[in-house]
Chains A and B, each alone.
Chain A
Amino acid sequence: MMKKVTYLILLLVSLSITSQNRYLTKTGTVEFEASVPSFEEVKAINNSVTAIINSETGEFAALVLIKGFRFKNALMEEHFNENYAESDLYTKATFKGKIIDFSLDGLNSEVKTFRLTGVLTFHGKTKKLEGLNLNITINENIITISGKFTADASDFGIKIPKIVKSKISEDITVSFKFELKKK
């Protein structure tokens, strides 16, 4: 009996620890741009991205539902979904990694730079991101993480047809911003 109670207490304590360290958002922003100067912009924003950080360990995960990318141009959005990202088949992009030396101590409303390492999966292909710079602040218990990186369309098995090659950049700039609340 005593043993059971001890286990139960241990379990409850460990549960409360894990939940206390969890900060998350369901409405993070991921934006990408593959525009070529003097042509129509190729740009989309997704503001329904889920991101979670464990403030104790610095472990970070994000999930992007591809259908949530919105373009200004409806036809471009359709082509993106059907021919490039194939979002019926590959419905999500995920990132799993770790913010190196992350600690809540010393974080404040001033921007501090951290490095993120992990794996990004999109369109059925996985790529390692290493030493990606992150800007992190904390303000009224909300952790804000932002950053940007460049991805190569071919790294993710996305072919840009010859006919539009001059209008879509092979180098895609991806930027993101997450405002994570304690949950």
Chain B
Amino acid sequence: MKRKLIVLLVLMLLAFAGYKYIYQDHRDIQKEQAEFVVSSTSITKEFLQKSIEAEKKYLNKTIEISGVITEITENDITLNNNVFCQFSSKITTLFTTKDSITIKGRCIGYDDLLELVKIDQSTIIE
């Protein structure tokens, strides 16, 4: 009887662990510590000059980027015309172009059509 109970408990634990593995949470970029802290100009330079190395270094990483706002819409901010930061929800803080800002987000790659580094799941640091 006791043995059966233990077997059942182990099975339940395994099922729970399996469920947790399959339905694990997404990364929470906002809570992650940034791996790199850069300026929008320096990261763009890296992508322009050594695109493959830069991709390896930054792709899918959480980074903190500072720059001057050149374009702002409801859901995204462009820094120095070369880093495009997308937010998952509407930007509530009021900013205008020419404001200096630091943004944290995940680098999803380099857009060579518009020569932009693209960042998603952004949050405003300051």
Contacts and interface: CB of A to CB of B under 8 A. Distances in A.
Interface size class of A (residues with CB under 8 A): 20 to 34
A48 B120 contact: yes
A16 B113 CA distance: 19
A74 B27 contact: yes
A50 interface: yes
Contacts of A101: none
Given A27-B75, A48-B120, A88-B59, A74 B112 contact: no
A73 interface: yes
B120 A24 contact: no
Given A48-B118, A67-B59, A73-B23, A91 B111 contact: no
A24 B111 CA distance: 13
Interface residues of B, number: 26
Contacts of B113: 50, 52, 61, 63
Interface in A55-84: 61, 63, 65-68, 73-75, 77, 81
Given A50-B114, A67-B60, 12 more contacts: A26-B84, A26-B116, A48-B108, A48-B118, A63-B111, A63-B113, A65-B118, A67-B106, A74-B27, A88-B59, A91-B109, A91-B110
27 contacts: A26-B84, A26-B114, A26-B116, A26-B118, A27-B75, A27-B76, A47-B86, A48-B84, A48-B118, A50-B116, A52-B114, A61-B113, A63-B111, A63-B112, A65-B109, A67-B109, A68-B109, A68-B118, A73-B22, A73-B23, A74-B24, A74-B26, A74-B27, A77-B26, A87-B60, A91-B55, A92-B109
